[in-house]
Amino acid sequence: MRTSVIQQLTARSRGVQEARKFQHFNLDSPQPLIETAKDIMSTVQPSFGACAMLSAAWAGMLNDHYDIPAIVVAGDLKIEGKRVFKCKKNISVSGSTEKFLNQKWDGHCWIEIDGFIGDLSIFRTAYSLEHPSVLRQFIESNFGLGRGAMLSPVKDIPQGMQYIPKFVLDDTQVNGLIAGLGYQLEQDI
């Protein structure tokens, strides 16, 4: 069921040819995913709510350096049946390369490739919460403290944690998010 949803979302936003490439790709080893995750995590300082930019950067690196057709997925994240992040709409992008958008968006982003989910922000977000929360409690009890990136086969994600796909980002969205992250890194924001 999940595979067909991801396939449909990918075809809708990236085209049928990209959807087929994604569908037929077989990941021989997760090592490129691990290496690129480490690179990004060592470059970008922890912050709350950076899931879209981190996921875009990760997918971009995988596509550019390894020809791995990772996709950025936007959707809901449920923990113990509660929606921690609810994605009501897709991520907006500017039609101009000179214009930055600063809009509120409440969804969650991650990457997917060959049955794996990758999430560079979930631990950073959970650990940054100072007040008690279902997310922080779940992360600490299921993963512990001091974790970096999550990379897991979909079937091995802990019970009670649901990544619910609603959109797959297209190249314009991914490139815009990467540019935004680059700007933040240049400005040391």
Which contiguous run of DSSP H or E holds residue 163?
strand 161-168
List, for residues 23-81, the tens digit of each pLDDT value: 999 999 999 999 999 999 999 988 777 899 999 999 999 999 999 999 999 999 999 99
pLDDT value, residue 27 = 96
Alpha-helical (H) ranges within 67-155 are 122-128, 134-142
Which contiguous run of DSSP H or E holds residue 172?
helix 171-187
Among 73, 77, 79, which Cα is nearest to 139's? 79
How far apart CA 59 and CA 37 sit, in angstroms, is 10
